[in-house]
Amino acid sequence: MSRNQQMLASKIGLGTWKMGSNGSDEAREVAALQKGIDMGVTVIDTAEMYASGGAELVVGKAIKGRRDGLYVVTKVLPSNASFKGTIQACEQSLDRLGTDVIDLYLLHWSSSHPLQETVNAFEHLVEKGLIKQWGVSNFDPADMQELYSLENGANCAVNQVYYSMGERGIEFDLLPWQAGQDVATMAYCPLDQGRLINDERLRPLADKHGKTIAQIALAWIMTRPGVIPIPKSSSVERTADNVNACDIVLDEEDMMLIDQLFPKPTGPVPLKAT
């Protein structure tokens, strides 16, 4: 059984980048997350970096009284990723989230602290019951190989990376490698930072399925084995649209057209990051 079965049981997740930056938006952000939860989404992704902890506070309010069954993901900043720093950061995230356990705790990107130190801290947090699983974010193939060479490095459950229809570079090497190691992929920016929303090349597919262009782009990501997209929206309506993309079934003809419009990589491509 895959150690990521619970996360991947939710075809789509809820991102929170930039949430918590403006107090006047909090009610709208909480409502958007709760709309996704009400529609059956169980994965919520956040980070201590987002609004300096503000996004975690928003998530904490959104999940209050409905924590059971949810899969909460947050991240430690590389600057905090020493052994002691990781543990302290985790405790602070738990407090902001208002929960006693984090389902998945990620290293946000490569750190100047020794990676073994961070892994040791993650393993300690698992032993203490403060987190259930750990992983990384923005790790390219070389980073993943280094991680797997470390003691307990193979316990990494997830790598969260930039992946969209318009940015398919990870399909050449990273995705196949992770599939072989049972490392799931969380796809941030699945709408290419909004660029795909208005990409009229996808209009024929949107019209064919009676959906929006954005929904087609999300549906495509959800055809990738072991991948879960985590689009962010502070709008109840847009959140509902994102979740409703789960109902789209793209056929072989659709997939061929997408491959023509957005070709697969034919060689290594540097990992994209925001």
Provide the annotated active-site residues: 50
Q: Do 131 and 104 contact (CB within 8 A), yes or no?
A: yes
Q: Is the dihedral of CA 126, 162, 256, 176 positive or negative?
A: negative
Cα→Cα distances 251→33, 119, 169, 229, 248, Å: 30, 41, 23, 19, 10
Element (H, E) at 34: helix 26-38
What residue has token string 């003691």?
A: 151
Q: Do 65 and 99 contact (CB within 8 A), yes or no?
A: no
Residues 6+ apart with CB under 8 A from 265: 168, 169, 171, 172
Describe the strand order of the beta sheet including 102-107 as a list of residue ranges.
13-14, 43-45, 71-76, 102-107, 131-137, 158-162, 184-188, 227-229
